Structure 1
Amino acid sequence: MVMGEPVVRVGAATDVGLVRSVNEDNYLVTGTVFAVADGMGGHAAGDVASGLAVAGLASLGTEGPVRPDDVRRHVMGLNRDILDAAARNPAQAGMGTTLTGLCLADFAGSAHWVVFNVGDSRVYRFAGGELAQLTVDHSEVAELVASGELSEAEAADDVRRNVVTRALGAGVAPEPDLLVFPPAAGDRFLLCSDGLTGELDSAAIAAVLAAVADPQAAADQLVRAAVDAGGRDNVTVVIVDHVRQDTAP
């Protein structure tokens, strides 16, 4: 155990939605690693790709303390797992997945959170009544918004909103974004696929996070609300609550 490691409570939920026939989302919850993966490719086995990503991520930290660069290398290494699986089964050629999550790591001798991201699934932090997106979407519309060519409102309805610019399963392993920061008791983290954010705006999401204290109940309610709002995509939510700090050496 790393000094200052937070004690957490976790809830997770997923639903195929009202339109898709297969749930291509997968999620991971371990003692120190939490993640959501949104598979892409439909006929090219997006569910297989997202499953491989979370299965491979589960071994992170099992052999000792993790440092931020270990997270980076591990996530990039998952790209090869997906490519190798596709090579063994040509029907799966072209499959890919997003991967976003939260991992406890040792940074300068104390526990820190590492947020990692490839693609357009997201990690948010809810603290002090405010919801803040910690990840940057790797998507075509996000780049157009950043350049001023689209507004946020226009991006929500743009035909390119599902085009990701970075994903696992690519010919060259994508570089994940990393964000490293110390834990703070009271923080609540939301990890989600775009099936949530495509149906609910930030205000609706924040309202549930503020009103529902139990992380499992909050995850269930968010997924149900996204399905009720249209359910046009698979919806997956993982909520991680930092309830207290462990000060044992």
Structure 2
Amino acid sequence: MKIYCKMEIGRGKTAIEDRVLIGSTVLAGGSYQAEAPDSDSPLCIAVADGVGGNSAGDVAAHIAVNSLLSFQLPEDIKAEELLQIIRDTNMHIIEESRRVSFLYNMATTLSGLCRVDRKWLLFHVGNTRVYTWSSPYLSQLTTDHSKARELRLMGMSDEEIERTGNATAITACLGNGDMVFAEALRVEDVTSEVAAAQMVLLTSDGVHEFIPREIFERSLQSANDIDLYLSQALSCARQNGSSDDLSIILVDLRC
């Protein structure tokens, strides 16, 4: 199994608000490529996207992934225990935002996978995403916690949603000064879904909101050079109008 990542700061920004965790490595930009440890070792892969409308999104995202890094995951951790770890992290983000004025209401999304005891646990809150790909289909494991999704379920078209001005608003996250925003947080066993997949893909919204699903599916079919593929994906998002931070992680399960 090989893991690849590429990140890019948003246009006109002075600091990237995304954070990526791969094993024992925290990334805040650039590229990454490595062999994953053997299947008996705990492994955590995550992407956190600091909420740009609030202050210190980068700090919130860093706390989120760093808490998973600093906590020594037992090999037999249960979904309920991982859920509690992330809830404790949420409380820490809230407490820090109340204690330090320039961190007021800082918030972040968090999505990822933990491999423990030969199981894969999915955790998710916000609008970062986790997908599996099994040729030729891409399947989204996460559900967006977003205003756009709520409006879409009400029957509104993408054009109508865009006109509301709420297309990018999220409805759940870690932090934001109140425990209620993390109530949508979920941890679930997705071992069977990952076992059936050839690849796993994690993205921040700056990527997936600007690349149509069918482009992802079709391009993965011919992705022989994964590093080049990730570079092309970021370029595609930019060409389609994304000015946000970009983060994309690909786990190649075929290796």
TM-score by length of 1: 0.84
Distance 2:101 2:7 in 1: 28
* Structural mapping, 1:23-34, within 5 Å: 23-30=16-23, 32-34=43-45
Residue 157 of structure 2, aligned match among 143, 151, 155: 151
Q: 1:232 to 1:218 in 2, by over 3 A?
A: same
Answer yes or no: is 1:237 the counterpart of 2:233: no
Residue 14 of structure 1, aligned match among 7, 28, 45: 7
Partner of 1:94 in structure 2? 105
Residue 73 of structure 1, aligned match among 79, 84, 100: 84
Range moving further from structure 2, 49-58 or 64-73: 64-73
Distance 1:19 1:207 in 2: 31
Deviation, structure 1 residue 103? 1.2
Secondary structure at the counterpart of residue 40 of structure 1: coil
Secondary structure at the counterpart of residue 224 of structure 1: helix
Partner of 1:184 in structure 2? 195
Distance 1:96 1:217 in 2: 32
Distance 1:234 1:241 in 2: 23
Give the conservation status (yes or no) of the 8 Å contact 2:75–2:116: no
Which amino acid in structure 2 is aligned with residue 181 of structure 1?
V
Give the conservation status (yes or no) of the 8 Å contact 1:13–1:220: yes
Secondary structure at the counterpart of residue 76 of structure 1: helix
Give the conservation status (yes or no) of the 8 Å contact 2:147–2:169: yes
Secondary structure at the counterpart of residue 123 of structure 1: strand
Answer yes or no: is 1:218 the counterpart of 2:208: no
Distance 2:20 2:164 in 1: 27
Partner of 2:144 in structure 1? 137
Answer yes or no: is 1:115 the counterpart of 2:117: no
Answer yes or no: is 1:167 the counterpart of 2:173: yes
Answer yes or no: is 1:209 the counterpart of 2:216: no
Distance 2:245 2:235 in 1: 11
Q: Percent identity?
A: 30
Deviation, structure 1 residue 42? 4.9
Give the conservation status (yes or no) of the 8 Å contact 1:185–1:243: no
Count matched residues. Answer: 232
Distance 2:226 2:4 in 1: 5
Task: Flag structure 1 segments of 5+ consecutive residues without an equivalent.
Answer: 1-7, 245-249
Distance 1:139 1:231 in 2: 18
Task: Flag structure 2 segments of 5+ consecutive residues without an equivalent.
Answer: 24-36, 38-42
Secondary structure at the counterpart of residue 116 of structure 1: strand
Partner of 1:4 in structure 2? none
Which amino acid in structure 2 is aligned with residue 222 of structure 1?
A
Q: 1:59 to 1:27 in 2, by over 3 A?
A: same
